[in-house]
Amino acid sequence: MRATILSGPRDIRVEEVPDPQLATTGGGVGRDAIVRVVAACVCGSDLWPYRGVTQPKTPKRIGHEMVGVVEQVAADVTRVKPGDFVIAPFYDCCGACANCRNGFTTSCLEAGSWGGRDHWGLDVDGCQGELVRVPHADGTLKVVEGGMPDESLIPSLLTLSDVFLTGHHAAISAGVRPGSTVAVVGDGAVGLSGVLAAKRLGAERIVAMSRHESRQRLATAFGATDIVPQRGDEGIAALKEMFDGIGPDAVLECVGTKESMDQALRSARPGGQVGFVGVPNGGPELPVRTMFSTNVGVRGGVAPVRDYVDELLPEVLDGSLNPGAVFDATFSLDESAEAYAAMDERRAIKSLLRP
Amino acid sequence: MRATILSGPRDIRVEEVPDPQLATTGGGVGRDAIVRVVAACVCGSDLWPYRGVTQPKTPKRIGHEMVGVVEQVAADVTRVKPGDFVIAPFYDCCGACANCRNGFTTSCLEAGSWGGRDHWGLDVDGCQGELVRVPHADGTLKVVEGGMPDESLIPSLLTLSDVFLTGHHAAISAGVRPGSTVAVVGDGAVGLSGVLAAKRLGAERIVAMSRHESRQRLATAFGATDIVPQRGDEGIAALKEMFDGIGPDAVLECVGTKESMDQALRSARPGGQVGFVGVPNGGPELPVRTMFSTNVGVRGGVAPVRDYVDELLPEVLDGSLNPGAVFDATFSLDESAEAYAAMDERRAIKSLLRP
C-alpha cells in the first residue's frame, strides 16, 4: 500500500510500504482492526516535525486523523465488524481501564500512538496512508451507523477524529456555558473549531483573535460575534475594554506558544478560566503567582476526543453542525507534500487528504 | 489604642498607636466603619514576613483576620451600624464593581489591604489590635444578626474571615463534589480546613497528608478517611495505590512551596484538578507540558471569602460546622509575640488573639 512518510525537515514523501497485518498481543488476544482510510488530514501539530522544530527519528510514518471502512478484525473484536464506517480518534485506547472509565481515554493505561508503537511495542501505521492497523479496535473506533455516509458529510466526520473535538475540549476546559463571554487565541483550524464549540455551548459573546481575512470570515460563520486583530498588550487592552474593563470569562488558548499562553492568561477576567489545547512547544511554564493573585484557572491538554464523539456525532449527522468547513483545500494522497506546504505557508487553514 | 507591630524578623511588639478615625475618601464619600476587635488571629502567611522570608518595610502593622463590634460608621454607610457584630474578610472590597459582582471580591477594583493602604492611599490598621478602620464598610463587613454571639461561637466565626473559607476555596477550586476522592497536601490550619470543606461538599474519601499526630487527629475529626504520612514520590505512590493506581480526583494544595505543588500535580489522576491556596513563595512556575499530557487542571489563589460567607455562616451559627477547632492556643493581645512563636515552632496549629 502507499503511505505518507516524513523523511526530514519539509521532506514529505508518499511511498510503497507493507500492508498492515492483524496482530495478536497481550495474552494472545486479537484486538486489532485493519481500516481502509477514506479521508485523512494534516494537523497543525504535524507541522512541528515537518518544520524541524521537533526532531523525530526519520523516516517516520505520519498522520493521526482518519475516517475509514473496516476491512478485517481480529478474533476477539466484538463491537466493530468489516464494512463498518468508523471514526478513529488521534490515539488508541482500551476503553476499559480506570482512566478510560473516567472519561480520559487520552491517558489510557494501554495507549499507543499512530505512526509510533502500540502498548505492546509493535509498530503502528500513520493515518496518512491507504490502510491502518488499529490496536484496541473495540475501544478506539467509533462506528457510524448505516455504513458509508453521504460524501458531503466526510469532512465534518473527519473533524471528530481530532480538530473539532480539540476545539470542543478547549471550550469545555475553559468552562464555557450558556451566557459565557469568550475569547479565542489562535485562528488555526483548532481555534476556529473552538469558536464553533463555544457557540454550541451557548456562549453569549465570542471574540476571535485573528488578523487573516479568510479566517475572520470562517470565525464569523462559526459564531464569533467580534474580531480582534491586535495581539499582545494591545489585544489584551481591546478585550478588557469590551468586557467591563476586566476581560472575558473564558479564554481558549489554541496555539501553544509562550506568547499565546501569556496573552490568554492576561486576557481572562479575575476568576476566569483558560482552556488550553495548543501543544506547548517546549514551554512556557505557567506563572503561578499571577494565577494566585487573579484566580485565573488553567485546564486543558490533549483532548479526549473518543469521550466526546458519542455526544457530538448526531449533530454532525443531522447537519446542525458543520465543523468540516475548516477544510479549505483537498489533496490526493500522492499530493501530500503539497498538502503540508499549503498549511505551512498558511495558504490553507487545513488540508484534507483522500487516499 | 494598642496594636501588634512587626518590627523586624521574629520581632513582634505590642505598642500604643493612634486610634483610627473615620475618613472621607473618593469624591467626599464616607465609606468607613471603626470596628472594636473581639478576636483576631495569626495566619500562616504572617509567618513569611515574621521569619524574614519576605522582607516588608518595618515597623509594620500586621494581621488580617478579625471579628468585632462596630463602634462608628461614616455618613454614607447604610448596611452596617454601631453595635453590629461583624466578620471582616482578610481584604476590603466595594461589593459593587465588575469583579465583586462576579464573585471575586478579592479582585475588587477598589481593594486595599489591612496593615497597608486603602484604595485612596490612606493607611489602614492591621487586624491584630484593639480598633480597625474598615474602608468600604458596606461591601466588606458581614453582619452577624442578633448582636454579640455566644462566646463558644467566636473561634468558628473568626475562621470565616480567612482560614476556613480559604480551605473551602481550595476544595471549590479543585472541583470537589459529592463522591469525589480527595487528597489534601498540607496539615496546617488551611489544609485541615480543606479537609472539613471537602467533607461538607460530599467527598467520599479524603486523604490527609500529615505526619503530626495532633494534626492527624484533627484531620480525622474533620472528616479525613485516611492519613498518609509519606511525602514526595513515596506519598504519591501511596495515593496512586489507594485510587485504582491513578490517584484521586482532586488535590488541595495548601502550602505554597515548590515541593507541595509538585506533589499535588503528580498526585491527581489524569483529568483531575488541583485547587491551590498556598501563597506561592517565589515560585515555582507550573510545568505546562505535564499539565497538557495529563489534563490535570490548576485553579485557585487568594480566596474570595466575602463571597462565601453568606452560604457558610448559617452552618456555623447552628453548630453543624465547627471550623474553629483549628485554634488550639489562645493569647491576649499583649502576648502576641508568644502567639507567633507558638505557630512558628509548630507548637500551635493556629493562635487566637483576644484584645
Measured at the alpha carbon of residue B342, what is the angle toward residues B338 and B343, in degrees to the nearest 5? 125
CA distances from A290 to A261, A272, B302 (A): 13, 13, 11
Cα separation of B257 and B235, whole Å? Answer: 16
* B179 interfacial to chain A (CB closer than 8 Å): no
* Pairing status of strand B66-73 against strand A205-209: unpaired
What is Dmax (Cα atoms) for chain A? 62
Same domain? For A72 and A122 the reply is: yes
Q: What is the pLDDT along chain B (355 residues), one digit of tens a residue?
A: 999 999 999 999 999 999 999 998 878 899 999 999 999 999 998 998 999 988 888 899 999 999 999 999 999 999 999 999 999 999 999 999 999 999 999 999 999 999 999 999 999 999 999 999 999 999 999 999 999 999 999 999 999 999 999 999 999 999 999 999 999 999 999 999 999 999 999 999 999 999 999 999 999 999 999 999 999 999 999 999 999 999 999 999 999 988 999 999 999 999 999 999 988 876 668 999 999 999 999 999 999 999 999 999 999 999 999 999 999 999 999 999 999 999 999 999 999 999 9
Task: Report CB contact under 8 Å: A286, B288.
Answer: yes
* A96 interfacial to chain B (CB closer than 8 Å): no
Same domain? For A110 and A181 the reply is: no
* B298 interfacial to chain A (CB closer than 8 Å): yes
Cα separation of A139 and A4, whole Å? Answer: 26
Contact list, A173 vs chain B (CB under 8 Å): 295, 297
* A25 interfacial to chain B (CB closer than 8 Å): no
Same domain? For B39 and B135 the reply is: yes
Contact list, B174 vs chain A (CB under 8 Å): none
> Which CATH number characterizes residue B82's domain?
3.90.180.10
* B146 interfacial to chain A (CB closer than 8 Å): no
Helices A258-267 and A232-242: angle between axes, nearest 10 degrees: 20
SS (H, E, C) A284-313: CCECHHHHHHHCCEEEECCCCHHHHHHHHH
Same domain? For B123 and B81 the reply is: yes
Contact list, A107 vs chain B (CB under 8 Å): 246, 270-271, 294-295
Contact list, A300 vs chain B (CB under 8 Å): 291-292, 295, 297
Same domain? For B127 and B141 the reply is: yes
Of A279, A292, A299, the CB nearest to B280: A292
Most B CBs within 10 A among A239, A299, A307, A308, hence the mutation to make, goes to A299
Q: Find out whether A73 and A32 touch, Cβ atoms under 8 Å.
A: yes
**pLDDT for the residue A25:** 82
**pLDDT for the residue B282:** 64
Same domain? For B99 and B143 the reply is: yes
**pLDDT for the residue B283:** 63
Nearest to B349 by CA among B173, B113, B224, B164: B164
- In eight-state DSSP terms, residue A224 is -
Contact list, A292 vs chain B (CB under 8 Å): 276, 279-280, 300-302
Of A104, A271, A292, the CB nearest to B103: A271
**H or E segment at A165?**
helix A163-173
* B175 interfacial to chain A (CB closer than 8 Å): no
* B295 interfacial to chain A (CB closer than 8 Å): yes
Task: Report CB contact under 8 Å: A301, B291.
Answer: yes
Task: Report CB contact under 8 Å: A271, B295.
Answer: no
Cα separation of B222 and B156, whole Å? Answer: 13
Same domain? For B170 and B86 the reply is: no
- The residues of chain A scoring below 70 in pLDDT are 282-284
Tally of structural domains, chain B: 2
Same domain? For A273 and A313 the reply is: no
Burial environment of residue A289 by CB neighbours within 10 A (0 to 12, 13 to 18, 19 or more): middle
Q: Find out whether A177 and A202 touch, Cβ atoms under 8 Å.
A: yes
Of A102, A246, A284, the CB nearest to B271: A102
**pLDDT for the residue B348:** 95
Most A CBs within 10 A among B299, B302, B307, hence the mutation to make, goes to B299
Q: Which three cell numbers stand for residue B244?
A: 485504582
Phi-psi region of A179 (alpha: psi -120 to 50; beta: other; left: phi over 0): left
Same domain? For B152 and B215 the reply is: no
Nearest to B218 by CA among B241, B193, B198: B193
What is the residue whose three cell numbers read 497597608? B116
**pLDDT for the residue B284:** 65
Contact list, B269 vs chain A (CB under 8 Å): 98-99, 102, 104
Give the residue on B whose Cα is nearest the Cα of A297: B299
Task: Report CB contact under 8 Å: B245, A98.
Answer: yes
Which of A300, A320, A339 is the endpoint of a domain? A300
Cα separation of B306 and B116, whole Å? Answer: 19
Question: What single letter denotes the amino acid at residue B291?
Answer: M
CB < 8 Å from B in window 210-239 of A: none
> Which CATH number characterizes residue B286's domain?
3.40.50.720
Q: Find out whether A169 and A304 touch, Cβ atoms under 8 Å.
A: yes
Q: Which three cell numbers stand for residue A19?
A: 500492508
Contact list, B295 vs chain A (CB under 8 Å): 104, 106-107, 173, 299-302, 304
Contact list, A94 vs chain B (CB under 8 Å): none
Q: Find out whether A83 and A70 touch, Cβ atoms under 8 Å.
A: yes
Give per-residue burial for B219-255: e unless 16+ CB within 10 Å, then b. bbebbbbebbeeeeeebbebbbebbbebbbbbbbbbb
Contact list, B270 vs chain A (CB under 8 Å): 99, 102, 104, 106-107
Q: Quick one: how far is CA B197 from the chain centroid?
A: 13
* A279 interfacial to chain B (CB closer than 8 Å): yes
Task: Report CB contact under 8 Å: B286, A298.
Answer: yes
Question: What single letter denotes the amino acid at residue B160?
Answer: L
Task: Report CB contact under 8 Å: A298, B279.
Answer: no
* Pairing status of strand B226-228 against strand B205-209: parallel
For chain B, the C-alpha Rg in angstroms (whole number) is 20
Same domain? For A218 and A340 the reply is: no
* A244 interfacial to chain B (CB closer than 8 Å): yes
Cα separation of A226 and A235, whole Å? Answer: 13
SS3 call for B189: helix
Burial environment of residue A82 by CB neighbours within 10 A (0 to 12, 13 to 18, 19 or more): exposed
Task: Report CB contact under 8 Å: B285, A280.
Answer: no
SS3 call for B153: helix
ipTM of the complex: 0.96
Q: What is the domain range of residue B73? A: 2-162+304-354
Q: Which three cell numbers stand for residue A249?
A: 470569562
* A293 interfacial to chain B (CB closer than 8 Å): yes
- In eight-state DSSP terms, residue B354 is E
Contact list, B285 vs chain A (CB under 8 Å): 284-288
Of A279, A295, A299, the CB nearest to B302: A295
Same domain? For A291 and A169 the reply is: yes
Most A CBs within 10 A among B242, B243, B292, hence the mutation to make, goes to B292
Q: Find out whether B198 and B189 touch, Cβ atoms under 8 Å.
A: no
The half-sphere exposure of A278 on its side-chain side, counting CA atoms within 13 A, is 28
Contact list, B300 vs chain A (CB under 8 Å): 291-292, 295, 297
Task: Report CB contact under 8 Å: B271, A99.
Answer: yes
Q: Which three cell numbers stand for residue B282?
A: 517565589
* A179 interfacial to chain B (CB closer than 8 Å): no
Same domain? For B61 and B145 the reply is: yes
Which of A300, A326, A343 is the endpoint of a domain? A300
